[in-house]
Amino acid sequence: MTADIRRTAAELADDLASGATTSVELTQASLDRIGAVDGAVHAFLQVDAEGALAAARASDERRAAGQVASALDGVPIAVKDVLATEGLPTTCGSRILEGWVPPYDATVVAKVRAAGLPILGKTNMDEFAMGSSTEHSAYGVTHNPWDLTRIPGGSGGGSAAAVAAFEAPIALGTDTGGSIRQPGAVTGTVGVKPTYGGVSRYGLVALANSLDQVGPVTRTVLDAALLHEVIGGHDPKDSTSIDQPLPALVEAVRQGASGDLTGVRIGVVKELGGEGYQAGVLARFQESVELLTKAGAEVVEVSCPHFVHALATYYLILPAEASSNLARFDAMRYGLRVLPEGVDAPSAEDVMRATREAGFGDEVKRRIILGTYALSSGYYDAYYGQAQKVRTLISQDFARAFEQADVLVSPTAPTTAFPIGDKVDDPMAMYLNDLATIPANLSGVPGISVPSGLADEDGLPAGFQILAPALADDRVYRVGAALESLLLEQWGGPLLDRAPDLEGASA
C-alpha cells in the first residue's frame, strides 16, 4: 500500500474507501513531504505531526468499523493560521499572538475535525490577513512553489503554497478582499470565496467582519466542492450565518465537468481587464472565454461602472472595521504584554501602547491609523460614510449585471506572481493586486479562481475568476468545473505537473 500525495482529495478519498491506502499512510506521506520541501517553501508556521497522526489513526479505526464520518474522512488538511484551533497555536502571522493557544475551535475547524480530516498544521499568512503577498507575516515570507524567489499571493499564501507544493491535498483559507482567490491564481490552484454568511466565521479572528469569509483552497474544483460541503451551512454561533441549506455543490461540479454549458449566460466584466493587466494573463483569460463559448455558453460583455471605485471603497471600509476589531489586542487578556521602557508603574494604557508598538507590523499599523482617521469625527461622513454609499452602488452594478448573465468572469489577479520584495514597502502597488477580487467581498457574492494556464512572458500561472449571485455558489462550481475539464483536456494533464519538483530545493 502506498499513498500518492499528488492525487486529488477526491481520488484519495476513493483510495481510502477501496483500502488502497490508509489515513495514517497518507498523513505520514504529507508530513514527509512537508519535511522535505517546507524548508524552502515555508508554507507552515506550525506542524502538528502528533495530532494529525492521532486523528488519522482514529479515522482508520472508524473506517475499519464501517463508520465513515464524511466523504473526506481521513484526508489530511492544512488550516490558515487565522482560524482558532484548540490546543494548536494560532498567531495570525503576528507577534502580538505569538504562542497563543486558543481554548476553543473555530466552527469550521470543529466541522473539519468531526468530518475526520487530520489537521497537518497551520499555514503562513500576512499579519491579520492584511496583504497580497504573505510578506507581511511576522514569521517570514512563504515562497511560491513555481518560483521560490516569487510571492505566493496573500494573505493566504501559506495555504495556497502548501496545496501547490503537494504538502497538503487541501487547505482552509479566508478571503476578505481576495486572500483565497488571488493566491490560488498565482500558485496555479483553485480557491473559492463562498457567499458571505455561507460558512461560519465563529473562531475566525476578524479582520473586517462585513467582508471576511472562510473557504476551500484546493487543486481541483471537485475538491473545493467536497470541502465546502464539509465546512458550510448555518451556525447559530455566527449571527451573520445564513439559515438555509447550501446548494448542491458537488452535484454542480459533476454537471459542469460534462463540459456542456448550453444555456448558461456568461458576462465578461468590461471594467475588470485591459489597462493594468498583464498581457499573458489577458491572453489566457481570452482563451478560457473562447473555450466556454465552444462549450455552449452565451457570452456577453457587461458593464459595472462603479467597480473602478471598488479599491478605494475597500481601503476605507476595511481599515475602519480592522481598527475596531484589532482594538481587542490590548495586552490584558491574551497575547503579548510589553511594559514600556523607563516608566515606573505604567498604566494599562501605557502598556497597551507599548505592546501594540512592539506586536504589530508596519502594514497593520498603517491600516489601523487609516481606519482611525476614516472613523474620526469630522471625517466620518466624507470617508467611511461615502464608502458605504459607493458599496451600495457596486452591489447595484452586480444586480444589473446578473440580470444579463448567470455568472460574471474576469482574470482573478492582474498579474502573475511578482518577485519577493518588489512591493512590500509600496502599499498602493500592493493593493492593486486585489483589483478584480474586491468587488465580490463588498457585495457578499461567491467567487472561484480556477487556473487558466501559464503566462507567455514568465511561464507563471494565471487565474480565471467566476462570480455568481449571492447564494448561487453552485453556479461558480458548475462553470469552474466545465472550464477545468476543458483546459485539462487541452493541457493533457494538471497544470501543476509543470511546476518544479521541489525536493532538494532551498529558498
Partner 1 sequence: MSASLSRDEVAHLATLARIDLTEAELDHLAPQLSVILDSVASLQGVASADVPPTSHALPLTNVFREDVVEPCLTPEQALSGAPEQELQRFSVPRILGDEQ
> Dihedral (C-alpha) 129, 134, 138, 142: value to the nearest 10 degrees?
140
Question: Minimum CB separation from partner 1 for residue 255, in Å?
Answer: 26
Give the nearest distance from C-beta 19 to partner 1 in angstroms: 38
Residue in 179, 288, 323, 452 annotated catalytic: 179
* Residue 80: active-site member: yes
Q: Which of residues 167-226 bind partner 1 (CB under 8 A)?
A: 195-197, 210
Our CB check for partner 1 shows the closer of 383 and 402 to be 383
Catalytic residue from among 23, 70, 132, 155: 155
Is residue 240 at the binding interface for partner 1, with CB under 8 A as the rule?
yes
* Distance from C-alpha of 159 to C-alpha of 78, rounded to nearest angstrom: 7
Residue 73 CB, nearest approach to partner 1 (Å): 25
Q: At what angle do helices 221-231 and 473-491 cross, to 10 degrees?
A: 150
Asked if residue 399 binds partner 1 (CB under 8 A), the reply is no
| Close Cβ partners of 49 (under 8 Å, ≥ 6 residues apart) | 31
Cβ distance to partner 1 smaller for residue 387 or 455: 387
Q: How many residues does the chain have?
A: 507
Between CA 319 and CA 317 the distance in angstroms is: 6
Q: Residue 354 CB, nearest distance to partner 1 (Å)?
A: 6
How far is 147 from 151, CA to CA, in rounded Å?
8
CB 426 within 8 A of CB 362: no
Q: Among residues 108 and 354, whose Cβ is nearest to partner 1?
A: 354
Write a three-state SS string for 429-473.
HHHHHHCCCHHHHHHCCCEEEEEEEECCCCCCEEEEEEECCCCCH
Q: Is 444 in the site for partner 1 (CB under 8 A)?
A: yes
Q: How far is the CB of 196 from partner 1 (least distance, A)?
A: 5
Site pattern 28..67 for partner 1 (x: CB under 8 A): ----------------------------------------
> For residues 279 and 429, which CB has a smaller minimum distance to partner 1 in the complex?
429
Residue 357: φ, ψ to 5°: -60, -45
According to CB under 8 A, which one of 63, 309, 423, 475 is a site residue for partner 1?
309
Beta bridge partners of 411: 464
- Single-letter amino acid code for the residue at 266: I
Measured from the CB atom, the residue of 247 and 451 that comes closer to partner 1 is: 247
Is 155 one of the catalytic residues? yes
Positions 402 through 431 that interact with partner 1 (CB under 8 A): 427-428, 431
For the purposes of burial, counting CB atoms within 10 Å of the CB of 247, is it exposed (0-12), middle (13-18) or buried (19 or more)? buried
For the bound state, the minimum distance from the C-beta of residue 173 to partner 1, rounded and expressed in Å, comes to 19
Among 63, 150, 306, 478, binds partner 1 (CB under 8 A): 306
Window 335 to 394, contacts with partner 1 (CB under 8 A) = 335-337, 340, 345-354, 356-357, 360, 362, 365-366, 368-370, 372-373, 376, 382-383, 385-393
d(Cα 324, Cα 450) in Å, to the nearest integer?
Answer: 34
Nearer to partner 1, 151 or 331 (CB): 331
| Closer by beta carbon to partner 1, 285 or else 384 | 384
Q: How far is the CB of 155 from partner 1 (least distance, A)?
A: 18
- Bridge partner residues of 174 (DSSP): 214
Of 248-287, which residues contact partner 1 (CB under 8 A)?
none
252, exposed or middle or buried, with CB in 10 Å at 0-12, 13-18, 19+? Answer: buried
Q: Which of 126, 228, 138 is nearest to 177 (CA)?
A: 126
Query: With respect to partner 1, which residue has the nearer C-beta, 39 or 385?
Result: 385
> What is the torsion angle, in degrees rounded to the nearest 10, for the CA atoms of residue 135, residue 140, residue 141 and residue 147?
150
Q: Which of 19, 39, 140, 236 binds partner 1 (CB under 8 A)?
A: 236
From CA 430, how far away is CA 422, in angstroms rounded? Answer: 9
68, 312, 505, 507: residue in contact with partner 1 (rule CB under 8 A): 312
> Please, what is the minimum distance in Å from the beta carbon of residue 60 to partner 1?
30
Q: Which of 420, 470, 482, 499 binds partner 1 (CB under 8 A)?
A: 470
Only segment of 151-159, 232-240, 262-270, 408-416 that touches partner 1 (CB under 8 A): 232-240
Query: Which grid coordinates are listed for 240?
Result: 451573520
> Euclidean distance between the first and final Cα of the chain, in Å?
33
Residues in 78-117 that interact with partner 1 by CB under 8 A: 100-104
Q: Which of 160, 186, 252, 442 binds partner 1 (CB under 8 A)?
A: 442
Q: Among residues 181 and 306, whose Cβ is nearest to partner 1?
A: 306
Q: Say which DSSP state 179 is in.
A: T
Q: By CB under 8 A, how many residues form the interface with partner 1?
A: 73
Q: Which is nearer to partner 1, 120 or 442 (CB)?
A: 442
Active site residue 237: no
3-class DSSP string for 280-304: HHHHHHHHHHHHHHHCCCEEEEECC
Instruction: Identify the active-site residue in 59, 80, 200, 449.
Output: 80
Q: How far is the CB of 187 from partner 1 (least distance, A)?
A: 27
Structure-derived torsion over alpha carbons of residues 277, 283, 284, 288, reported in degrees to the nearest 10: 110
At closest approach, how far in Å is the CB of 57 from partner 1? 26
Q: Vertex 49, ends 48 and 54: CA angle to 5°?
A: 100
Catalytic residue list: 80, 155, 179
